């Protein structure tokens, strides 16, 4: 048996608030962790085909999960792709990516569409493990159960226009039909004008009330279908938070909520005129809103944080805030962003819970991903929590290097990422593609 042991002076083990020394054994044939022991133990090197020594000062983390990524292949491969997107992910310690059902052509709204994407991913090869969300659009109800059977992790729909023609939004009646058979995830961003170079103009064109009314609809349906699970994607309006708190207090337990790195780390006041790399939907709001979202994350109202990496070609980001494509690119930067923003306040364990364990649970991979424990995938990250780096275009690994984070100095560097026990990111480049489709 090809056996690996990792000797880490500091490792973040489940249930432990702070990193501690650990020895972790991996069966390289199954790609799984087979033993976790507290302390550093190596009785005989000959028992192992590989010994991985983690340097002092580095922390061994579980591989991260990003449940909200648009890889756009096939169909809009100029915007992103399996290879570049998964390279960006692995460079930031993300070993599991869940791809959103829209912006590729075909979209993932039929079993056939899912198979086309999987075929393409297999052909290209991926640097991370990769799963897929399905989509609900008007009229595709008959595809939903077959898509679930074929392995999608849940479903996303839009309650306003999505931005692309092949993924139309649904009405309440469509949603009710879909719910009759399904567990599903609901895209709660509600329907999508002054001086369009001013960011304020764009923010005002997408008021928080839209998100709140979408949330109200989702809550209504969640109450009607207690056996299904509902999920709010990319929550941006802090005004929705009291509704979520109240619903939970009233006993609604089938609702989860995500927000994105850009809503926690960026604020409207800082966005220059025509800086369309900041444009996303829903929009980045003001500082008071940002602080309330952070409070909601800290008190558990928001369950986890995703990238919503949604790139396009640079030409589509030209122009003003009303004409440019709405989507922020930041795949792979999440750990450093959140560690910089909240690390001192909450510590590494909570940050990693939001970025790994909570998202693994969301897609049915609890205990299998996002945790350094026996039986979990041998995905792990060597993280230097003290090192700093400046985000530059050269440091970005995704295809189109247009990002609001360029120029920011972040704390915490991913030095290596291992996928299934194999080195997949060595600090400067992604190694061979060993990702599997989930
Ligand atoms: Zn999205």
Q: Measured in angstroms, how far is the CA atom of residue 5 from the centroid of ligand 1?
A: 38
* Distance (Å, whole) CA 11 – CA 56: 11
Q: Ligand 1 center to residue 103 CA distance, Å?
A: 9
Distance from Cα 385 to the centre of ligand 1, integer Å: 29
Question: What SS3 state is found at 272?
Answer: coil
Domain map (residue ranges) of the chain: 3-61+375-392+409-425, 64-362
Q: For residues 404-415, give the mean pLDDT.
A: 98
Rounded-to-integer distance, Cα 209 and Cα 95, Å: 36
Dihedral (Cα; 258, 423, 121, 338), 10-degree rounding:
20
Distance between Cα 227 and ligand 1 center (Å): 25
What is the whole-number distance in angstroms between the Cα of residue 326 and the centre of ligand 1?
A: 10
Mind listing the pLDDT tens digit for each residue in 188-209? 544 334 577 888 888 888 889 8
Burial class (CB in 10 A: 0-12, 13-18, 19+), 198: middle
Q: How much is the pLDDT for 185?
A: 52
Looking at residue 195, its pLDDT comes to 75
Question: Rounded to the nearest whole angstrom, what is the distance from the C-alpha of residue 284 to the centroid of ligand 1?
Answer: 14
The answer to whether 352 and 12 have CB atoms below 8 angstroms apart is yes
Asked if 182 and 156 touch (Cβ cutoff 8 Å), the reply is: no
Of the ranges 110-119, 228-237, 380-389, which one carries the lowest mean pLDDT score? 228-237
Q: What is the pLDDT of residues 297-350, one digit of tens each?
A: 999 999 999 999 999 999 999 999 999 999 999 999 999 999 999 999 999 999
% the chain with pLDDT above 90: 89
As a whole number, the mean pLDDT across the chain is: 94
E strands within 241-379?
Answer: 255-260, 304-306
User: In CATH terms, are 3-61+375-392+409-425 and 64-362 the same topology?
Assistant: no
CB atoms within 10 A of CB 404: 22
Question: 68 alpha carbon to ligand 1 midpoint, in Å?
Answer: 6
309 Cα to the center of ligand 1, angstroms: 7
Tell the residue number behind the tokens 């009785």, with chain if given.
Answer: 43
Task: Report how far ligand 1's centroid is from the alpha carbon of 282 (Å).
Answer: 10
Per-residue model confidence (pLDDT) at position 79: 97
**How does pLDDT run across 359-387, given as a tens digit for each residue?**
999 999 999 999 999 999 999 999 999 99
Residue 49: how many CB atoms within 10 A of its CB? 11
Question: Residue 184: what pLDDT?
Answer: 54
Mean pLDDT of 159-168: 91
What is the 154 CA–ligand 1 centroid distance (Å)? 14
**8-state DSSP, 74:** T
Arithmetic mean of pLDDT, 128-138: 96
pLDDT of 187: 54
Calculate mean pLDDT across residues 279-283.
95
Q: How far does residue 41's CA lie from ligand 1's centre (Å)?
A: 44
> Quick one: average pLDDT of 206-225?
91
- In our burial notation (b when 16+ CB lie closer than 10 A, e otherwise), range 137-169 reads beebeebbeebbebebbbbbbbbbebbeebbbb
User: What is the 167 CA–ligand 1 centroid distance (Å)?
Assistant: 12
Q: What is the DSSP letter of 393?
A: G
Residue 227 burial (CB count, 10 A)? 8
183 pLDDT above the threshold of 60: no
Distance 307 CA to ligand 1 centre (A): 9
Cis peptide before 106 (omega within 30 of 0): yes
How far does the chain reach from its first CA to its final CA, in angstroms?
Answer: 24
- CA torsion angle for 133, 333, 199, 291 (degrees, to 10)? 90
- CA of residue 311 to ligand 1 center, whole Å: 10
Predicted pLDDT at 1: 72
Edge-to-edge order in the sheet of strand 129-132? 64-69, 94-99, 129-132
Give the distance (Å) from ligand 1 centre to CA of residue 189. Answer: 10
pLDDT in tens, 50-71: 999 999 999 999 999 999 999 9
User: How does pLDDT run across 2-51, given as a tens digit for each residue?
Assistant: 999 999 999 999 999 999 999 999 999 999 999 999 999 999 999 999 99
What fold characterizes domain 3-61+375-392+409-425? Urease, subunit C; domain 1 (2.30.40)
CATH superfamily of 64-362: Metal-dependent hydrolases (3.20.20.140)
* Helix or strand holding residue 336 (H, E): helix 334-346
């Amino acid at each position: 048996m090809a056996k690996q042991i990792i000797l880490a002076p500091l490792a973040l083990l489940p249930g432990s608030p702070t990193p501690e020394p650990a020895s972790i054994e991996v069966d390289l044939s199954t790609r799984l962790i087979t033993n976790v022991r507290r302390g550093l133990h190596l009785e005989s090197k000959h028992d192992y085909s590989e010994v991985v020594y983690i340097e002092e000062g580095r922390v061994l983390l579980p591989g991260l999960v990003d449940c909200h990524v648009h890889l756009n292949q096939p169909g809009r491969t100029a915007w992103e792709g399996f290879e570049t997107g998964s390279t960006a992910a692995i460079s930031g310690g993300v070993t599991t990516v869940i791809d959103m059902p829209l912006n590729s052509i075909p979209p993932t709204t039929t079993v056939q569409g899912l198979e086309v994407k999987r075929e393409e991913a297999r052909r290209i090869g991926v640097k991370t493990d990769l799963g897929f969300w399905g989509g609900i659009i008007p009229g595709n109800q008959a595809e939903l159960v077959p898509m679930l059977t074929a392995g999608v992790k849940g479903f996303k729909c839009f309650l306003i226009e999505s931005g692309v023609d092949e993924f139309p939004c649904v009405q309440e009646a469509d949603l009710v039909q879909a719910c009759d058979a399904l567990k599903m995830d609901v895209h709660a961003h509600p329907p999508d004008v002054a001086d369009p170079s001013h960011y304020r103009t764009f923010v005002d064109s997408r008021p928080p009330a839209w998100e709140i009314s979408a949330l109200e609809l989702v809550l209504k349906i969640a109450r009607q279908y207690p056996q299904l699970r509902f999920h709010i994607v990319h929550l941006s309006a802090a005004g929705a938070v009291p509704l979520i708190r109240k619903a939970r207090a009233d006993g609604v337990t089938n609702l989860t909520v995500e927000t994105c790195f850009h809503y926690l780390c960026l604020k409207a006041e800082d966005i220059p005129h025509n800086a369309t790399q900041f444009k996303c939907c829903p929009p980045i709001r003001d500082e008071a809103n940002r602080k309330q979202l952070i409070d909601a994350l800290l008190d558990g109202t928001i369950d986890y944080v995703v990238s919503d990496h949604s790139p396009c070609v640079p030409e589509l980001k030209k122009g003003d805030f009303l004409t440019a494509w709405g989507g922020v690119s930041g795949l792979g930067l999440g750990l450093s962003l959140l560690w910089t923003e909240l690390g001192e306040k909450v510590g590494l364990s909570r940050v990693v819970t939001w970025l790994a364990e909570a998202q693994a649970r969301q897609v049915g991979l609890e205990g299998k991903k996002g945790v350094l424990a026996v039986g979990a995938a041998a995905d792990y990250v060597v993280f230097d929590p003290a090192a700093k780096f400046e985000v530059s275009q050269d440091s970005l690994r995704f295809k189109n290097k247009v990002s609001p984070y360029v120029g920011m100095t972040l704390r915490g560097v991913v030095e290596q990422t291992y996928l299934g026990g194999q080195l997949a990111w060595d600090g400067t480049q992604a190694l061979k593609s060993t990702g599997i489709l989930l």
